[in-house]
């Protein structure tokens, strides 16, 4: 199954997005990155599952469902400290109150347990230039994430 992982610099930014029921990505200083993100964003389907990653404390949290297509040519300046683009509506399935440290992922996810040569970055793409890239994980991996972050 495909999931979309998005990175946030701070947990505060995650809380702000969850509180507004939306997510977006930061505006890049490189036009080519922004154009690539817009192209990939247009392919993200409504109903897709997502996951947030906080680089501040290196944790995953807050699985969500995508409720709208990302809005092209729209900037959001009143949710996060900086301007973010390509906003889309989400419904959180969990809470930022249940973070999962990155270091626990190899023990948690069956794919990583069964393939010790793989790292979490091989499984779930979280780099900024990879925004709106779907990561393919097994249903067993999603179930483990869901149980750790929601149940």
Q: Vertex 19, ends 15 and 9: CA angle to 5°?
A: 30
**Short-list 106, 80, 105, CA closest to 8:** 80
Quick one: pLDDT at residue 130? 75
**CATH class of the domain comprising 2-149:** alpha beta
- Residue ranges, the chain, pLDDT below 70: 128-129
Name residues whose C-beta falls within 8 Å of residue 33's C-beta, 6 or more positions apart in sequence: 128, 129
Phi, psi at 66, each rounded to 5°:
-80, 125
Query: For residue 139, with 0-12 CB atoms within 10 Å meaning exposed, 13-18 middle and 19 or more buried, which class applies?
Result: exposed
Neighbours of 85 (CB within 10 A): 20
**Short-list 45, 36, 38, CA closest to 24:** 38
Query: DSSP states of 63-86 as a string?
Result: EEEE-S---TT-EE-SSSSS-EEE
pTM over 0.85: yes
Quick one: pLDDT at residue 128? 60
Contact 16, 23 (CB under 8 A): no
Tell me the C-alpha distance between 68 and 55, whole Å.
25
**Domain boundaries defined on the chain:** 2-149
């Amino acid at each position: 199954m495909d999931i979309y992982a998005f990175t946030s610099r701070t947990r505060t930014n995650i809380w702000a997005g969850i509180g507004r029921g939306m997510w977006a990505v930061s505006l890049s200083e490189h036009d080519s990155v922004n154009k690539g993100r817009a192209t990939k964003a247009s392919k993200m389907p409504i109903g897709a599952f997502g996951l947030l990653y906080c680089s501040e404390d290196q944790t995953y949290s807050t699985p969500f469902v995508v409720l709208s297509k990302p809005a092209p040519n729209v900037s959001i300046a009143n949710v996060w400290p900086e301007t973010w683009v390509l906003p889309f509506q989400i419904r959180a399935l969990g809470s930022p109150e249940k973070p999962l440290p990155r270091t626990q992922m190899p023990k948690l996810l069956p794919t990583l347990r069964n393939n010790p040569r793989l790292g979490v970055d091989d499984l779930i793409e979280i780099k900024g230039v990879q925004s709106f890239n779907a990561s393919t994980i097994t249903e067993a991996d999603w179930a483990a994430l869901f149980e750790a972050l929601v149940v």
